[in-house]
Chains A and B, each alone.
Chain A
Amino acid sequence: MLSSGVTCQGYYFVLADYSKNLIEIQDLTFSRGPRKIFDGLDLTIKRGQVTALMGPSGTGKTTLLRLITRQLIPEHGTIYVDGVDISTLDQSELYRLRQRFGMLFQNGALLTDLTVFENVAFPLREHTKLSQRLIRHIVLTKLHAVGLRGAAAMTPAELSGGMARRVALARAMVMDPDILLYDEPFVGLDPISMGVIVRLVRRMNDALGITSILVSHDVEEVATVADNSFLLSDGKVAASGSPDELRTANSELVRQFMHGMADGPVAFHYDAPSYEEQLLGRDTE
């Protein structure tokens, strides 16, 4: 069933079928060295929704974004994006698929030899033959949306961490992608910027009919913006549902994470010998 949603993608419009899943991950296994990050992960992301990936540090949330975009290759398992197994794509097909993605990296990843304006214009210059006037218009519109139109002439070195991430957000959305991936979008933002960005994420998703995947630790902000959430732990999905459903879940792990409790199944301390023995120096005897 085709919905009425219309996605703006460059020059042409695509009627999106919102009833279908956009991303399906089946039996995914991935390790870094001896450490298994994912062990038989199954996960489905619905089209047109804002989906949050949450979980304690080191559970592989960012790694999952990189696997979805094939920046990393899994040991086992299949990832379907819009029904296509991404492991079967050659480089040109992969690049065509990636043009449908916009990604906000954790540290912004702005190109340091270009100005703010040129950073945002970069994908347009690489992939379109738009006139300079139109590129200027689009870039200024995107920079205005993140409140940094006045910083267009600045270089990334002159920006604060929060400003750099807002510029990176403008760059991520400049091609009007189908899928926007946000890696920790709220880190380093002041409360005013955070409020604006949270509303922007929601508004873009609804107005443009795109799909957003959000990696965040920020339970409060996620609750205001996400339609659906996955809590990752021990290489699998520990819980899923709307943020409100997760808040009221009975699972001890979910409760510990959602309410920020020190005690629970997820240890705050990394594996270590006895504190007392170590302070008394007995562990070295």
Chain B
Amino acid sequence: MNRTAQDIYNNTVEFIRTFGAFQLFFLRLLQHSPALLFGRFPVVVKQVYNAGALSLVIVMICGLFVGAVLALQAYSNMSRFNAEDWTGVAAAFALVKELGPVMTAILFAGRAGTALTSEIGLMKATDQLAAMEMMAVNPVSRVLVPRFLGGVIAMPLLAAIFSAVGMFGAHLVGVELFQVDVGSFWQQIQLTVELSDVNEGIIKSIVFGVAASLIAVWEGYNTVPTAEGVGRATTRTVVITAITILVFDFMITAALI
């Protein structure tokens, strides 16, 4: 019993310590961000390309099929009430408010987040970060902040592309396959989906972008510098990001409803 209590105490203390360090790490990234954004923007653009453009194909393919399957589900259920015209609205709401940001963030964690973690982890394992320190170059501002900002900027753009391609997938299924009237399909969306709905999606994608990028660079920076350590950190990035995003999704939705 004493041993269990001691373990719980130790784990709690360790969790609080790690969480505190995580917050300080976040503040350090924010502290260095303005200098990068206004002083060395091309470095950030390169990371937007790395995080964003390289995730584009996977995001577009997934967006297309998610939109298509949403339209399938919506059509089969709406047709029971003779409300097939609302197929597009159901798909649009689901994509813009929920699945666009959430799915993109999870795909982003799997594609770009893991790449960030393993890249930074390997830089640590091969003394590249220590070499920068020795060259009087702060690795936080030179390596971590550009990658963090690249992820934060890329995520909302990817989420927008996911939703747009998803709507195209919904159009293919709803209009081309099930012959829903194209005018009704898009007019219902135009009349029903409001700016506040789009804003909700934008807010979520920004928050998820910050969370996914932050977790990825944190895990990379705190990797145990061995092959096994980098592997574990990469796995943790995906698992922690997925859980964090789903929790944040619930909290943001509850706050905005």
A binds B: yes
Please tell me which one of the listed residues A95, A99, A109, A122 contacts residue B127 in the complex, with CB atoms under 8 A apart: A109
Verify if B134 is at the interface (C-beta below 8 Å from A). Answer: yes
Which of A73-81, A100-108, A142-150 lies at the binding interface?
A100-108
- The CA of A66 and the CA of B133, in the complex, are separated in Å by 11
B127 touches A98 (CB 8 A): no
Chain B residues near A103: list those with CB within 8 A.
131, 134
Q: Which residue of A lies closest to B125 (CB)?
A: A107
Residues from 51 to 102 in B contacting A, C-beta threshold 8 Å = none
Please tell me which one of the listed residues B127, B134, B138 contacts residue A101 in the complex, with CB atoms under 8 A apart: B134
Please tell me which one of the listed residues A96, A105, A111 contacts residue B136 in the complex, with CB atoms under 8 A apart: A96
Chain B residues near A69: list those with CB within 8 A.
134
Q: Taking A95-B138, A112-B126 as contacts, is the C-beta distance between A105 and B131 under 8 angstroms? A: yes
Please tell me which one of the listed residues B123, B130, B133, B135 contacts residue A122 in the complex, with CB atoms under 8 A apart: B135
B134 touches A98 (CB 8 A): yes
Verify if B27 is at the interface (C-beta below 8 Å from A). Answer: no
Chain A residues near B128: list those with CB within 8 A.
109-112
Q: Taking A109-B128, A111-B128 as contacts, is the C-beta distance between A71 and B137 under 8 angstroms? A: no
B135 touches A126 (CB 8 A): yes
Residues from 117 to 166 in B contacting A, C-beta threshold 8 Å = 122-123, 126-128, 130-138, 142
Verify if A137 is at the interface (C-beta below 8 Å from B). Answer: no
Chain B residues near A91: list those with CB within 8 A.
138
Chain B residues near A99: list those with CB within 8 A.
136
Q: Taking A71-B133, A98-B133 as contacts, is the C-beta distance between A107 and B138 under 8 angstroms? A: no
B136 touches A127 (CB 8 A): yes
**Secondary structure at chain A's binding surface: helix, strand, loop or mixed?**
mixed
Chain B residues near A110: list those with CB within 8 A.
128, 131
Chain A residues near B122: list those with CB within 8 A.
112
Smallest CB separation, B145 vs chain A (Å): 15
B131 touches A95 (CB 8 A): no
Verify if A241 is at the interface (C-beta below 8 Å from B). Answer: no
Verify if A40 is at the interface (C-beta below 8 Å from B). Answer: no
- The CA of A107 and the CA of B142, in the complex, are separated in Å by 21
Chain B residues near A171: list those with CB within 8 A.
135
- The CA of A103 and the CA of B131, in the complex, are separated in Å by 8
Verify if A56 is at the interface (C-beta below 8 Å from B). Answer: no
Q: Taking A107-B126, A109-B126, A112-B126 as contacts, is the C-beta distance between A98 and B135 under 8 angstroms? A: yes
B131 touches A109 (CB 8 A): yes
Smallest CB separation, A143 vs chain B (Å): 17
Smallest CB separation, A20 vs chain B (Å): 23
Chain A residues near B126: list those with CB within 8 A.
107, 109, 112
- The CA of A69 and the CA of B138, in the complex, are separated in Å by 14
Q: Which residue of A lies closest to B137 (CB)?
A: A126
Chain B residues near A105: list those with CB within 8 A.
127, 130-131, 134
Verify if A123 is at the interface (C-beta below 8 Å from B). Answer: yes
B137 touches A109 (CB 8 A): no
A111 touches B131 (CB 8 A): yes
Q: Which residue of A lies closest to B132 (CB)?
A: A111
A109 touches B136 (CB 8 A): no
B136 touches A71 (CB 8 A): no
- Name, among A101, A103, A171, the residue most crowded by chain B CB atoms within 10 Å (CB to CB): A103
Chain A residues near B142: list those with CB within 8 A.
126
Please tell me which one of the listed residues A71, A96, A126, A127 contacts residue B134 in the complex, with CB atoms under 8 A apart: A71
Residues from 11 to 45 in A contacting B, C-beta threshold 8 Å = none
Smallest CB separation, A17 vs chain B (Å): 24
A107 touches B134 (CB 8 A): no
- The CA of A96 and the CA of B131, in the complex, are separated in Å by 15
Interface residues, chain A, with chain B CB atoms under 8 Å away: 66, 69, 71, 91, 95-96, 98-99, 101, 103, 105-107, 109-112, 122-123, 126-127, 168, 171, 175
Which 10 pairs from chain A and chain B are nearest by CB?
A109-B127, A109-B131, A95-B136, A98-B136, A103-B134, A99-B136, A123-B135, A105-B127, A126-B137, A109-B128
A sample of 28 inter-chain contacts (CB < 8 A) reads A66-B130, A71-B130, A71-B134, A91-B138, A98-B133, A98-B134, A98-B135, A98-B136, A101-B134, A103-B134, A105-B127, A105-B131, A106-B127, A107-B126, A107-B127, A109-B126, A109-B127, A109-B130, A109-B131, A111-B132, A112-B128, A122-B135, A123-B135, A123-B136, A123-B137, A126-B137, A126-B142, A127-B136
